[in-house]
Structure 1
Amino acid sequence: MISFKPVLTAAIVRTALEAAIAAAQTEQHNMSVAIVDEGGYLFCLQRMDNAGLMTPKVAGDKARTAALLRAPSRMLADRVTTDVALLRLTDYLPMAGGLPIIIQGHCVGAIGVSGGTPEQDERVGQAGLAALQLD
């Protein structure tokens, strides 16, 4: 029997991106939101008006970290405090704000948000995920 793994689609990305941007606007934050595929490659990026110049890069790096770890980027941030050797992992960003997109138990990508506090970034990312009504 052949089984197919779910994949990230443009419709999924658009839904998550729009919900995250709406949440950022509601909270009155100027942020960047990045969505990557399961390999950490950029699918889309939106920098809101007046968002900081570094936020697009940071949002993408947070999303990539979450996609490759198949876990929130906060997990790595929390672990770095007890294992500083993890800072040598140059392809990963140990900062909260990256969340994996899990569909039917498979990580199909991730969303990353930058421009607020770690808690604000995660909250906006969670709004993007919540719009997908996953698992």
Structure 2
Amino acid sequence: MRHKAVLGEAEARSILDAAAAAARSDGLAMSIAVTDDSGHPLALLRLDGAGLMTPKVAEQKARTAALIRAPSRRLADRIAAEPALLRLTDYLPMAGGLPIVVDGQCVGAIGISGGTPDQDERIGEAGLAALAETT
């Protein structure tokens, strides 16, 4: 039997708070979602001024990263070579979702929406860094 870490409320909040602080510091109005390893939401924050669709998009990016166990950008990059992947309706092939990996295992994901693809990923990395500091 294998054992793995599980994200709790405290860890999800820490990731969310760090990403929100980074977004605010950069003057970005974004939504941030943290999911468990099956893509179910643990935490969601829509910063003041973030677009109306950004919460759903952030959640879907996180879900995608959790389910594919890789950055959501990777799926977006594969679509060019394999357009049939667009038929996978539970996935959002856009950059901005990052898996949360602890001891080599995916325990969840963070999704960011509201900036450019690079901004979304940078803010997501800031959230991941907060967890790395506590584990």
TM (norm. structure 2) is: 0.96
Give distance in 2, aligned partners of 1:20 and 1:3.
31
Q: Does 1:31 align with 2:33?
A: no
| Residue 38 of structure 1: how far off its partner (Å) | 0.6
Q: Deviations over 1:98-128 (max 9, x none)?
A: 0000011111100000000000000000000
Consecutive unaligned residues of structure 1, counting only runs of 5 or more, are none
Give distance in 2, aligned partners of 1:82 and 1:106.
28
Give distance in 1, aligned partners of 2:85 and 2:14.
33
- Report percent identity of matched pairs: 63
- What's 2:97 paired with? 98
Residue identity in the other structure for 2:114: G
Give distance in 2, aligned partners of 1:127 and 1:97.
12
Q: Does 1:131 align with 2:118?
A: no
| Residue 9 of structure 1: how far off its partner (Å) | 0.9
- What's 1:47 paired with? 46
Calculate the aligned-residue CA RMSD, in Å: 1.3
Give distance in 2, aligned partners of 1:5 and 1:130.
19
Which consecutive aligned stretches of 4+ in structure 1 deviate over 4 angstroms post-superposition?
A: none
Consecutive unaligned residues of structure 2, counting only runs of 5 or more, are none
- What's 1:75 paired with? 74
Give distance in 2, aligned partners of 1:122 and 1:87.
22
Please give the secondary structure, in 2, of the residue aligned with 1:43: strand
| Residue 4 of structure 1: how far off its partner (Å) | 2.6
- What's 2:56 paired with? 57
Alignment of 1:2-41 (within 5 A): 4-41=3-40
Give distance in 2, aligned partners of 1:47 and 1:71.
24
How many residue pairs match? The answer is 134
| Residue 3 of structure 1: how far off its partner (Å) | 5.2
Please give the secondary structure, in 1, of the residue aligned with 2:131: coil
Q: Deviations over 1:41-94 (max 9, x none)?
A: 011100001100000000000000000000000000100111111110100000
TM (norm. structure 1) is: 0.96
